[in-house]
Amino acid sequence: MWIKDSWDEAEGRSISIKVTDECARITSEFQEIVIYNTECFGRMMVIDGVIMLTEFDEFAYHEMITHVPLHVHPDPKNVLVIGGGDGGTVREVMKHSVENVILCEIDKEVIRLSKEFFPDIASGLDDPRVHIINENGASFIKNHKNTYDVIIVDSTDPFGPGEALFREEFYRDIHTALIADGIAVTQSESMFYHKETIERLFSFNRNIFPLVKYYYTLVPTYPSGIIGFSFCSKRYDPLENIRPCIPAGLNYYTGGIHRASFVLPGFMQKVIRG
């Protein structure tokens, strides 16, 4: 059986992956979650018809959404992860000397299924420094001002529960929730397929944060094979303030990749300049 990622089918493009069997299928309060075994990509999670992760390439996403901001902030102690119920981002955060991590994931079923079917990816969720809250991230952040050194928004695409995480109001709340030298990184789609979404994000983020940049990583099972991030900082520049100490055992992130990921093609430079 072949599974098609439905995100871009309306635009006449999709990715197909051959699956060997279905491990689990549930409809939670918020979305449909399906776990498959695949022929080439290991185990795979699909939410509302969209590929969220595969065991084959998840490290390229989780390492880059995490280690870029945590290697720029000089002393990240309090970290908030919004979304990311699979645990991959938390796993990478725990490789740093953090003191407190809040995982705010709206759907507890994503966490439950990840612990059952992706134990290596979800391995950091049981760390005593991690506190899990099942709440809407856009609502949760409104009640926490001047609290976090780093905020990482590991969201789904801008539909369903993830839609509110792409609005200007949410980014203003992120700014308020960060301490005076805080950094936020948010999942910000593919530069090839979602230019309008990225342009809209940068149109308001330039007015919210002193420093906003776009960077990207390569993930074969995501639309166009590329997914990007908004780097939103109150003080630190991601190219000038890099801490050299890199945790052992990483598969994608290096100091060179960190710098190179901010080098954008000409068309994308025009997009983020508006």
- Known catalytic residues are 154
CB-CB contact of 96 with 74 (8 Å): no
Query: Which residue, chain included where needed, has tokens 């595969």?
Result: 54
Amino acid at residue number 159: F
CB-CB contact of 223 with 190 (8 Å): yes
CA distance 79 to 183: 10
Residues across the chain: 274
Q: Which helix (H) or strand (E) holds 45?
A: strand 43-47
Give SS3 for 192: coil
CA distance 6 to 14: 7
Supply 58's token pair. Answer: 């998840």
CB-CB contact of 230 with 168 (8 Å): no
Distances in whole angstroms, Cα of residue 205 to Cα of each of 1, 83, 104: 42, 20, 22
Distances in whole angstroms, Cα of residue 25 to Cα of each of 46, 109, 156, 209, 218: 9, 11, 18, 40, 28
